[in-house]
Amino acid sequence: MATFLTSRPSRPLLGALRQRRPADVVPDAAPRAAVPEPRSAVVAAAIYDDGVRTARYDNLAETFSALRSRPGGMAWIGLERPEETELTSLAREFDLHPLAIEDAIQAHQRPKIERYGDTLFVVLRAARYLDDVEEVEFGELHVFVGPDFVVTVRHGASPDLAAVRARLESDREMLARGPEAVLYAILDSVVDGYAPVVAGLDHDIDEIESDVWGGAPDVSRRIYELSREVIDFQRAVRPEQKVCASLAKGADKYDVDEELRAYLRDVADHLTEVADRIEVFRAALRDILTVAATLVAQRQNEEMKHLSEVSIRQGEEVKKISGWAAILFAPTLVGTVYGMNFDVMPELGWAYGYPAALVGMLAVSVGLFGVFRWKRWI
């Protein structure tokens, strides 16, 4: 068999191969489809030294290597919806806690702050208001802050961390303060993003008030849906107040720069203002819903009153019709009886029978008219 496989083909066979047209040649196999390259979750990764960006990278391995070769530097890595393998690589490099990695993978976390050794793990909820559908769209942001690194894991379209990075890179003095400065800048960006949401909710509440007094038919549903958006917004803001309070306590404990403490106090003040406005919104929507329900009840009462009045008027008309029908019934009955043309009937031979019958019919009709008039049926 081996000899057969390695022997040269005979001349007739070679001639046949030469004479075969190119169209008759069948390829050995179909071309193999190109395998797509795996998606990288790295949005931006850079090394900073004394507030100045020294290099920017497109993958984690190069960033890790550059950080190890530059003592005193800081790595800022931004990821968007990373795969588990990428987060595992970060965990090995920066010694991140498995529980924090699990939260970052699963997402759908409420705002919180956890400390694992020298690493802070912060969850924030960014928000933006979609006015056309009157909904608050939330984005989730996980931030790992260590002695020489900041890792952000973004789930959602907001916040715009590229703008935060650009602003910090233009402020060398602030960026030189280290990873805490990056964390506070991110927190400030998230809180600043709440201002358009507050403005959008305020505008829609004003519109709803106008709709309530205008008698819009679907205003109750709109109030309920907007109330649900306000409650979801409150669930994002209220825990972040606790995050700011924890950071303030940690600033005292870990001797954080005074400038950063002032920065954090400013963020906390803005959060308090947002939380107060949310409480005002909830109270306003409750009051508007009560007013809307009252107005609906009033309109229903007015409709019922109108229907009752119509029914009363119809009853009065029925009384009049019934009274006149009874008045006309008496002479009709007498005339019908004497119209049967029998030979033997009372008073047929009496000369005054016909006038007497007419007088009797008139007397009965007048009597019935008097009775109905007394009862106010006519």
pLDDT tens readout for residues 107-145: 788 899 999 988 999 999 999 888 777 788 888 899 999
Q: HEC states along 209-226?
A: HHHHHHCCCCHHHHHHHH
Sheet with 74-80: strands ordered across: 52-57, 42-49, 74-80, 149-155, 135-145, 119-130, 112-116
What was the pLDDT predicted at 216? 67
Domains identified in the chain, total number: 2
pTM given for the model: 0.69
pLDDT mean over 314-334:
77
Structural domain range at position 355: 317-374
Tell whether the model's pLDDT for residue 340 goes beyond 90. Answer: no
CA separation for the pair 96, 293 (Å, rounded): 54
CA separation for the pair 356, 349 (Å, rounded): 13
Tell whether the model's pLDDT for residue 22 goes beyond 50. Answer: no
Would 54 be classed as within a structural domain? yes
- CATH number, domain with residue 48: 3.30.460.20
Would 236 be classed as within a structural domain? no
What was the pLDDT predicted at 374? 81
Would 325 be classed as within a structural domain? yes
Would 198 be classed as within a structural domain? no
Domain limit, last residue, from 131, 146, 169: 169
Please, what is the average pLDDT of the chain? 79
Would 243 be classed as within a structural domain? no
CA separation for the pair 237, 277 (Å, rounded): 11
Tell whether the model's pLDDT for residue 280 goes beyond 80. Answer: yes
pLDDT mean over 347-364:
75
Q: Which residues contact 18 (CB under 8 A, 6 or more apart)?
A: none
Would 137 be classed as within a structural domain? yes
For 218, the token pair is: 């679907």
CA separation for the pair 58, 41 (Å, rounded): 10
Would 355 be classed as within a structural domain? yes
What was the pLDDT predicted at 21? 41
Domain limit, last residue, from 144, 169, 194: 169
Would 293 be classed as within a structural domain? no
Q: What angle do CA 119, 123, 128 make, to 5 degrees?
A: 145
Tell whether the model's pLDDT for residue 25 goes beyond 80. Answer: no
Domain limit, last residue, from 169, 198, 216: 169
The listed range with the strongest mean pLDDT (34-38, 124-128, 252-256) is: 124-128
Tell whether the model's pLDDT for residue 5 goes beyond 50. Answer: no
